[in-house]
Amino acid sequence: MREVENVETRRADLKVWTLGEAVDDPLLERLGDCRRLADSTGAAVGALVTGATRADAETLIARGADQVRFVSSRPGLLSLVAMAAAVVRDTGARLVMAGGDGAGREWAARLAARLGCPLVSPALMVTARQGALVVTGLDGAGRLARGLRIPGTEPVVATLRAGVAEAVPADASRRGDLLETAAVECREPVRQVRIIPADPATVDIRHARRLVAGGRGVGGRDRFETLKRFAAAIGAGVAASRMAVDLGWIEAERQVGQTGKTVAPDLYIACGISGASHHLEGMSGAGRIVAINTDPDAPIFKVAHLGLVADLHEVLERARAGAGGR
């Protein structure tokens, strides 16, 4: 293991930070964006990582960090928030970038609330303009981009999804500070009594674990009732293709695809959906895809794990009866 030279990075320079619970690809991507921003403003880059070893921390320095504060243990969420808040106050950080997964979003939201600063989640990029930071992020629907200007010395917290940023190449000659620190112990004031699952019939389709989606092949608004009955029998939500929405058969908030919502359920059952590219873009990340279509050449079969060339209404009614539905 090579020794990392302690270069005594000045606190005043550490204005850009990234957070993570593991040295993985998403963290290296965020670090790459932080490095490019810092290079354009003359700032230094810090990384706060938990569950890391000294070798992990050295990797971050080679990938662009000027200082790495790492904790070998994995403290609880409130401890992470307290540690990150201390780093911001200690260094006067302008930007803190967290992951775009569930844990990262919760960490970022709590940190922003504690600091009383803006939160942009999810963000697309951060640039510097005339002494201010401009954070470009997506709206709640994930369709429109907006820019938020952060003036002066005010900090901002942002989350970045995996694949949005780009890591910088490793440079073994880089030097930086390694600071191993103990976790701050904070007790969670909220006690979890039980978890009440969301109603699959009303939950946002982006959060549903199972989805039954219908397209033009369903045959009409009334015939969507077959999908709804089957979805209720297996505890799934109902989604649709753009064509079904455009025909007025189902609400627009249930549309999946490039102009709708991106979903990644454990199970996605596509019924009467041909599989146009803009629809596939919104659901190809599903764990298991089942396609039912009367056209054996439908593009949806190319991404399906299981394909049925059959009448969807007949298949769903039999499956619902088998699942104990009425």
Rounded-to-integer distance, Cα 82 and Cα 85, Å: 5
Query: Can you give the pLDDT at residue 9?
Result: 46
Q: Is the pLDDT of residue 225 over 60?
A: yes
Query: Can you give the pLDDT at residue 141?
Result: 61
pLDDT tens per residue across span 167-206? 999 888 888 888 888 777 766 666 778 888 788 888 999 9
**Is 205-322 the same fold as 11-180?**
yes
pLDDT tens per residue across span 23-71? 889 999 999 999 998 888 888 899 888 888 888 888 999 999 998 888 8
Contact in structure between 15 and 36 (CB atoms under 8 Å): no
Q: What is the pTM of this model?
A: 0.58
Q: Is the pLDDT of residue 4 over 60?
A: no
Query: Can you give the pLDDT at residue 84?
Result: 87
What secondary structure letter does DSSP report for 54? Answer: H
| CATH number for the domain formed by residue range(s) 11-180 | 3.40.50.620
Query: Can you give the pLDDT at residue 1?
Result: 32
Mean pLDDT of the chain: 86
Query: Can you give the pLDDT at residue 323?
Result: 66
**pLDDT-derived band of residue 216, with 50, 70 and 90 as boundaries?**
very high
* Residues 6+ positions from 58 with CB-CB distance below 8 Å: 1, 2, 4, 178
**pLDDT-derived band of residue 146, with 50, 70 and 90 as boundaries?**
confident
> Selecting from 3.40.50.1110, 3.40.190.10, 3.40.50.1220, 3.20.20.80, what CATH number does the domain 205-322 have?
3.40.50.1220
Averaged pLDDT for residues 139-151: 74
Rounded-to-integer distance, Cα 161 and Cα 172, Å: 27
Neighbours of 159 (CB within 10 A): 26
Burial call 226-260: b when 16+ CB within 10 Å, e when fewer: bbbebbbbbebbbbbbbbbbeeebbeeebbbbeeb
- The more confidently predicted of residues 22 and 306 is 306
Domain ranges of the chain: 11-180, 205-322
Strand partners, 97: 18, 158
